[in-house]
Amino acid sequence: MRVVFRADASVSLGTGHVRRCLELASRLSAAGAQIAFVCVEAPGDMIAEIASRGLAVTALRAGAWEADAQQTGSAIAAGGSAPRWLVVDHYGLDARWERTLRATGRHLMAIDDLADRPHDCDLLLDQNLGNPRHARYARLLPQTARSLLGPEYALLGAPFEQLRPAALARRSGQLQRVLISMGGTDPNNDTARALAGLRRSRYAGVAVDVVAGAANPHRAELERRCAEGPGCRLHVQSAHMAQLMTAADLAITGGGSTTWERCALGLPALAVVQSPDQSAIAQAVAQAGGHRLLGSSAEVAAADYTAALDALSPEALRQMSTAAAALCDGRGAERVATLLGNWSGVAA
C-alpha cells in the first residue's frame, strides 16, 4: 500500500500539520506501507526532518491551489504506482484541489479542524473534542464520506500510549516540575512571558523544562533566560516530548494539537490560544476541565501567568489531570492506520 501525504510546516504555520501526519505515517510504515510526503519549501519547513526519517519527500513551490494541485500530481506520478490513499492536512486546500487530485489515488482523506470549507473526500478526520464546528461538516462533505470526530482519533506517537499508565500513576497534585511548550515556532514569544510569569510566582523554585522548535526565532533569548535560572533546561526540537510530559506536573502551553498528547498523559495545564484555529479546541477542553484557559496569547501578560500559578492547588491539579486523561487514550493513530489499511476490504 502506498500513501502520500500533503502537509506544510513553516514559521507562520507552525509544525502541527506535518507532525500529526508523521505519526500516522509511522504507524502505516510499520504495517508495511510505502510513504511519501509533498511539502512546500519555506522557512521553518520540516522537509529535512521528514527525509531524516527515511521517508520520501518532494519540495514544492508556494502557489495558488491550481499550481499546488499540478505540482502535487506531478510529484505523485514521479513516485511510481498510484497511491491507495492521498492524505491532505492543509487549511489552504479544499474540494477544488481534492477533486483535481482524486484521480491520482484510489481514496482521499482530509484532516481538518476548522470546518470552514467544502471537501471532496472519502474520509474526514477532525481529532478535536466535540464543538459547534463539527455540525458544519454535514454540509461540507459528500454524502458518502465517513467522518472520524474526536480525540479518540488523535494522531499521537506511540510513546504517548506506552507511557500513559506511568504518567497517570504519578499525578499526585504536587507541583515540582513545569513544562513550558508553546509550539514548534512560537512567533509571538509566549514562552518568554510564561517563563517570566513562573519566576514571579510562588513556584519560582521548581524545575522547568522549556521546549522550543528548531525554527523558533527567539531561540537565543530563550537560551539566555534559561541560563539565568537554576533548574531550567532548554530542549530544542526534542524527540522526547512524551518523556518530558510524563515527568512534568504542569504544562504551560498553547491550545493546538499538542493538547491531545498532554491529555493522553493526564498532564494538567495552563493554556493560551495562539491562533484563531485553536480557539474552539481550547474552549472545549476548558469546559471539560482538562486545562485552565487564560485567553488569547496576545492578551496574556507575564502577570497573568503568575496569578494563574499562584491560584493552583493540589486538588485543582488532580482534578485537571483526571479530566484531561478522560478525553484521550493515545491510541488514535493506531485506530486510523488500521481503518485505512482495511478500507472497503481491499487488499493492500
Residue 171: CB partners within 8 Å, gap ≥ 6?
A: 249, 266, 267, 268, 317, 318, 321, 322
Q: Grid cell 506544510 — which residue? A: 8
Query: Is 0.85 surpassed by the pTM of this model?
Result: yes
Q: How far apart are CA 92 and CA 188, in angstroms?
A: 22
Q: How far apart are CA 38 and CA 245, in angstroms?
A: 30
Task: Give the mean pLDDT of 200-228.
Answer: 93
Q: How far apart are CA 185 and CA 188, in angstroms?
A: 9
Q: What is the pLDDT of residue 106?
A: 86
Task: Give the mean pLDDT of 224-235.
Answer: 92
Confidence class for position 214, pLDDT limits 50, 70, 90: confident
Q: How far apart are CA 143 and CA 318, in angstroms?
A: 43
- Position with higher pLDDT, 278 vs 314: 314
- Position with higher pLDDT, 95 vs 114: 95
Confidence class for position 344, pLDDT limits 50, 70, 90: low
Number of residues that this document lists for the chain = 348
- Angle, CA 339 vertex, CA 281 and CA 140 arms, to 5°: 50
Distances (CA, A) of 189 to 13, 25, 178: 15, 30, 18
Domains observed in the chain:
2-157+330-345 (3.40.50.11190), 159-325 (3.40.50.2000)
What does the pLDDT look like over 100-156, one tens digit per residue?
999 888 899 999 989 999 999 999 999 989 888 899 999 999 999 999 999 999 999
What does the pLDDT look like over 301-340, one tens digit per residue?
999 999 999 999 999 999 999 999 999 999 999 999 999 9
When the pLDDT of each residue in the chain is averaged and rounded to a whole number, the result is 94
- Which of these, 125, 120, 118, lies nearest to 148 by C-alpha position? 125
Q: How far apart are CA 28 and CA 266, in angstroms?
A: 26
Q: How far apart are CA 244 and CA 87, in angstroms?
A: 30
What does the pLDDT look like over 64-82, one tens digit per residue?
999 999 999 999 999 888 8
Task: Give the mean pLDDT of 208-237.
Answer: 91
